[in-house]
Structure 1
Amino acid sequence: MQKADQNDQQTERKHPVLRHAPLALIVLVAAIGAFTLRDYLSFDTLRENREALLAFRDAHFALMVAGFVAIYFVIVAFSLPGAAVASVTGGFLFGIIWGTTFNVTAASLGAIAIFQAARMGLGKTLAARLDASDGTLKKIKDGLNENEISVLFLMRLVPAVPFFVANLLPALVGVKFRNFVLTTVIGIIPGALVFTWIGVGLGEVFDRGDSPDLSLLWEPQIIAPLLGLSALAALPIIIKAVRGKKGI
């Protein structure tokens, strides 16, 4: 084991560019995609191609599933615009159960990919520096490690936290891979259900000549349960803080 670690360290010293290449590629593709794909990954594009997509789904269901998951994976892994459109499309094409399943699968795989890319390069360097630091930064990292699962769940459940931030930040501070995967797969289910549910009724919205109203996400009946789950995720942190102050 020690010899393997030494080999990894030697490889990292010899090929520092290779360690940072995946994250650099993601940043480059994300920047290009932000300017070139915004007009294509939209509800207007979905409206114009709805009949063709439904016909292809009915004729080649397995191929449609594979293509959908692959495209959604690329959108998330490279932080491209259109993640919300993809989630709604999952409900439109596959219904609430299968749509949610495929949405969660694709988004989770994409999140894992960007997490690994960030951790492989910049994340290792930053995590090592935080471990070696003193003072406030060290306390923050120790506090995060102590409450890792709760904090990661909060990042997934609080709607104000952008999805790409919840993918990148954990990698940069050295959270455990298994905890990231667990909280990602479970933590995105509530939001995925909401987006998929909007997609289920998308056909009727298009028939009226309208576009999906994503402001529904901020309606009390939607946001209240998400905030409730966020409070539940934060509860262990609050309990530990109270016990620490009281010396329990």
Structure 2
Amino acid sequence: MTDTTHASQILRRLPIILIGVVAVLGAFFFRDSLSFDALAQNREALLAFRDSHYFLAALGFVALYAVIVAFSLPGATIMTLTGGFLFSLFPGALFNVVAATLGAVAIFLAARWGFGAQMARRLEGSDGLVRKIKDGIDENQWSMLFLIRLVPAVPFFLANLIPSVVGVSLFRFAVSTFLGIIPGAVVYTSVGAGLGEVFAAGETPDLGVIFEPHILLPILGLCLLAALPVLLKTLRGKKGL
């Protein structure tokens, strides 16, 4: 390997390396800054700024949320709640989804640019959850892309990383991310929209609300709908044996 080739590889990997470094530093330095307590303490100042500079507040919120997602910093859930608290269910949910999608696209592009071909070869030899997601994407991209967004068990960072190295187009990734995170975003944004009463009572929000049957069952139904093409293809393959 020539010095030029080696330097080129390092340059290509700089974005994803930067994301990793910032994520580690952010987990250490900002874990207390982006918390429910911090939101409670600064709620009046945030509301005052929103009332005085609504457009700037909305733009700044989306930008900050996108950066938090892009660099895998702690506080994404708090940001979703903040979106509901500051901007209500709508347009708060829209701001949350747009910001999270922008951050996810940043990770997707950084990983594809830095590790595309090499990472794809490694995934071919992997096993477990990562290999199952990769195989599913290879079989039916749209279904699996929606499924990994809807299923809470799949880490958000992993759902951004794997599609970037298995040939998923940026358009499919962005669309499936935007639409796939809407159910969860709406639930948590609605919780954030009711934080005024929670603050007044001196309580903390119930983030386990997403596991309530009336919320979880519709999301599971969407998961089944997303997985249906994969299941049908598997059944047809077995019948053909």
Which shifted more, 182-191 or 13-22? 13-22
RMSD: 2.3
Check whether the contact 1:12–1:19 (CA below 8 A) recurs between aligned residues. Answer: no
Give 2:209's aligned amino acid: L
Kept in 2, the 8 Å contact 1:108–1:185? The answer is: yes
From 84, 91, 99, give the equivalent of 1:91: 84
TM-score under structure 1 length normalisation: 0.88
- The aligned runs of 1:99-248 (5 Å cut-off) are 99-127=92-120, 144-247=137-240
Query: Residue 88 of structure 2 aligns to a residue in which SS?
Result: helix
Q: Note closer, same or farther for the CA distance 1:175–1:107 as it changes in structure 2 (3 Å cut).
A: same
2:24 counterpart (15, 18, 31):
31
Superposed structure 1 runs of 4+ greater than 4 Å apart: 11-14, 128-132, 137-143
CA distance in 1: counterparts of 2:68 and 2:131, whole angstroms: 34
Q: For residue 178 of structure 1, report the CA deviation from its aligned partner.
A: 1.7
- In the comparison of the two structures, how many residue pairs are matched? 235
1:71 aligned to 50, 64, 71, which one? 64
**Structure 1 position 95, deviation (Å):** 1.0
CA distance 1:239–1:12, shift in 2 (3 Å): farther
**CA distance in structure 2 between the aligned counterparts of 1:191 and 1:96, rounded to whole angstroms:** 12
The one-letter amino acid paired with 1:167 is: N
Q: Deviations over 1:11-54 (max 9, x none)?
A: 86651111100000000000001111111100100100111111
Letter in 2 for 1:50: R
Secondary structure of 1:156's match?
Answer: helix
After superposing the two structures, state which structure 1 stretch, 27-36 or 122-131, moved more.
122-131
**TM-score normalized by structure 2?**
0.90
* Mapped partners of 1:189, 1:138: distance in 2: 26
Name stretches of at least 5 consecutive residues in structure 2 with no aligned partner. Answer: none
**Contact 2:62/2:99, CA 8 A, preserved across alignment:** yes
